[in-house]
Amino acid sequence: MAGVRQFIGGNKAQQDTTYSSGTLPFTGTSAVSGLPVREATTVNLMVTAVTEDAVVDVTLLPFRAGEEVSTPTKPRRVKIAAGNVQWLAVDPPAGIEWFTAIVTPVEGSGPVLVAHQVREVSKYGDLVTGYPWLPLRDTVTVPVAQEDLGLTIR
């Protein structure tokens, strides 16, 4: 779900709009980039074990404004019981501008659903955004190319 809070006609007039979308369970790696690191902002992950128990590793890849090459954090292993949602507070490393969160189900784990929530607190009210994740493509099938003798090139 993503939320937008608009101020129309001054600070006292607010209009909230939300959007939602669905996703399918997966057993491969998933990631979302551009998660913010700000004082008034929190990031939470929601991992659901759909039909059977699941175990996932959560790794963060910090961005330090091009000062150095990003090094992934040590994976945080999380167990989720079948049919349950596990809320995970994300604590990014200090001194970074934003980060990528990576969720990888452990080999043999049941399928999971993953989403995130970013909440920013301000004097005008909270802004909450987030959306479900899709699995990353880690395999690409390249079609076989064969010479066609019937094709003439001029």
145 in any annotated domain: no
In tens, the pLDDT along 32-65 reads 988 888 888 999 999 999 899 999 999 999 987 7
In a domain, 37, yes or no: yes
Instruction: Read off the CATH number of the domain in which 102 is found.
Output: 2.60.290.11
Residue 17, SS3? strand
The whole domain housing 31 covers: 25-117
**Number of domains forming the structure of the chain:** 1
Residue 101 phi, psi (nearest 5): -105, 135
pTM of the full structure: 0.75
- Is pLDDT at 17 greater than 90 in this prediction? no
Do the domain assignments include residue 154?
Answer: no
Q: What is the pLDDT of residues 62-101, one digit of tens each?
A: 987 776 778 899 999 999 999 999 999 999 988 888 999 9
For β-strands 30-36 and 41-49, DSSP reports them as unpaired
Pairing of strands 112-122, 14-19: unpaired
Whether 20 maps to a domain, the answer reads no
